[in-house]
Amino acid sequence: MEQAHHTILLEESALYHTLQYLDKLNPLRLLNKGFTEKLEGFREWKAQQRKAIIMGSGMPTADGECSDMVEAYIAARELIVNSRVNKKNLSDLLSQESYKLAAPFKPQILSIKKSLVIKSSKQDHSQQTMAKTSVFDIPVQFWRSGITSFYFKDYPHTKITFAEFGKNRENYEFVKEFNRLNSYQPYYVLKNERTGDLFQVNKGFVMGVQDDDEVEQEGNKFQFLAESEEFSAKDIDFTDPTALLKRQKAILEAIHKHQNTEQFDPLRVLQHGIQHWVLILCHGGKFFLQVFQGSKSLFSKSDSKYVMRKKQGGRQMNKDKTAKIMSSVGSQMRRENERLLQEHIDEYMEEAKGYIEKADVIFLHAPGMNKTIFISQSKPLGAHMHKVRAIEFKSKKANYQEAVELIKKITEVKLYFNADYVSPVEAEGL
């Protein structure tokens, strides 16, 4: 009897310890179950991401980028720089899981590969992989793949992030130094922080970065004040110093708030795709206007008049302002041609009004007095000053041949691929 009782006690003790063990084990099981659910959820999210359309349906990361776009760029980049990839095997590679996200960019990959150049340095025996292409051959997704800073070869910090520039763009000394670094270059060099690659692109396609010499009017920055009913002068008593001081304080606070909340997005045109853009040349009595949709010409007008004094040099309208007005037959002819040229330009600009309103960027080269033909408030470009960009290349004549050369220079993009970057795809082996 005692032996049976002892056996029961042992069994109860074993059961107690077993239950105690299971009680400790249960949280681990729950934890494991939760981890498994999280892992499955992550795998499902990743699968959805890969199936999503790259143009914006991907989930943005903390940096404001899109993970799919980063992966797509890295995959396309590997296919571009790899010398073993050619036109014959590219289609097969794009069907593989590692390169599927780059499949929509097949034409651009082939186009960029044609201009790929590998330069070797004799000093350190390093290699530089560079490609020269058009801004229209760069998929918009590439501009969203981690480009977050301006790069300077000789700058102490080598770069200035977009966020840093956005915070300091109202700082005169900061902007002055920034402009000095770019004063002799018609382009900006942008850095992809994920890969270390550099994109050299014309300044005109980078928004929100204005030089003092450019044609944008300073008043546009405070347009929000003019449109606000809060700061209307209708109900203000200008004889009351207290009311005037209070209004001035409110205006300064509004400006400060506007400057600190306005988002700095220099790549917005490149990231959304350049739909329409305009090229205008006007100097020496010659005028040329062309409207593009991407690289395709939609509208073109030109005119040429005899307004230059051949022997003495200079334009007749400028001569009339600085010296005694001449009454020779030649001078009268040049004055009449000036009037006709102005009328024709006004007509052509009116015809192109619809295109100008839709344009993302307007490149204008109109030195000296020619600029007043376009940028005054009553002129066609007066309401679109925020789109106007100076052409930082020399232009000899305002004609079709010169425009063709300028278009090549303006739309040219150079890609410098970082040789030290090894993509996950490359690490696995092609």
Please tell me which residue, 349 or 379, carries the higher pLDDT value.
349
- CA pair distance 203, 184, nearest whole angstrom: 12
Q: Identity (one letter) of the amino acid at 237?
A: D
Q: What is the pLDDT of residue 9?
A: 47
pTM above 0.75, yes or no: no
Q: Which has the minimum average pLDDT: 273-282, 286-295, 394-403?
A: 394-403
Burial group, residue 44, by CB count within 10 angstroms (0-12, 13-18, 19+): exposed
Give the CA distances from residue 78 to residues 372, 397, 421, 423, 424, in Å, rounded to whole numbers and listed in that order: 49, 42, 10, 7, 10
Residue 291 carries which DSSP code? E
CA 85, 90, 92 angle in degrees (round to 5)? 125
CA dist 390 and 400 (Å) reads 18
Please indicate whether residue 21 or residue 421 has the higher confidence score (pLDDT).
421
Residue 188 dihedral angles phi and psi, to the nearest 5°? -110, 150
Residues 6+ apart with CB under 8 A from 93: 79, 85, 99, 430
List the structure tokens of 128.
């530089």
Q: Which of 210, 263, 316, 377 is catalytic?
A: 316
Task: Using the predicted structure, report yes or no on whether residue 219 has a pLDDT greater than 50.
Answer: no
**pLDDT confidence of residue 265:** 82
Q: How many residues comprise the chain?
A: 430
Overall average pLDDT of the 354-369 stretch = 90
**Average model confidence (pLDDT) across the chain:** 76
Q: Kindly state the percentage of the chain with pLDDT values over 70.
A: 65
The pLDDT-based confidence of 314 (bands split at 50, 70, 90) is: low
Indicate the burial class of 403 (C-beta count within 10 angstroms; 0-12, 13-18, 19 or more).
buried
| Residue 316 designated active-site | yes
- Mean pLDDT across 388-403: 86
Residue 186 predicted with pLDDT over 80: yes
Which residues, listed in sequence order, are joined to residue 302 by a DSSP beta bridge?
288
- How do residues 203-218 score in pLDDT, each as one tens digit? 999 987 764 334 444 4
Ranked by mean pLDDT, which of 118-132, 138-152, 231-245 comes out on top? 138-152
Asked if pLDDT for residue 229 goes beyond 90, the answer is no
User: Strand, helix or coil at 278?
Assistant: strand
Is 70 exceeded by the pLDDT of residue 416?
Answer: yes
Mean pLDDT check: name the lowest of 193-197, 224-228, 419-423.
224-228
Query: What DSSP character marks residue 287?
Result: E
The answer to whether the beta carbons of residues 188 and 201 sit under 8 Å apart is: yes
Strand partners, 151: 159
Residue 307 pLDDT greater than 90, yes or no: no
Residue 269 clears pLDDT 50, i.e. is over it: yes
Residue 228 confidence class, pLDDT cut points 50, 70, 90: low
Please state which CATH number belongs to domain 273-398. Answer: 3.30.420
Report pLDDT for 52: 46
| 365 vs 214: CA distance, rounded Å | 11
Helix, strand or coil, per DSSP, at residue 389: strand
Residue 54 pLDDT level (bands cut at 50, 70, 90): very low
**Distant-in-sequence, close-in-space partners of 136: CB < 8 Å, separation ≥ 6:** 274, 294, 295, 411
Q: Which residue has the higher pLDDT, 409 or 11?
A: 409
Whole-number Cα distances in Å, 198 to 3, 30, 153, 225: 86, 48, 11, 39
Checking if the pLDDT of 5 tops 50, the result is no
- Which residues have a Cβ under 8 Å from the Cβ of 167 and sit 6 or more positions away? none
Listed ranges 51-65, 234-248, 354-368; the one with the highest mean pLDDT: 354-368
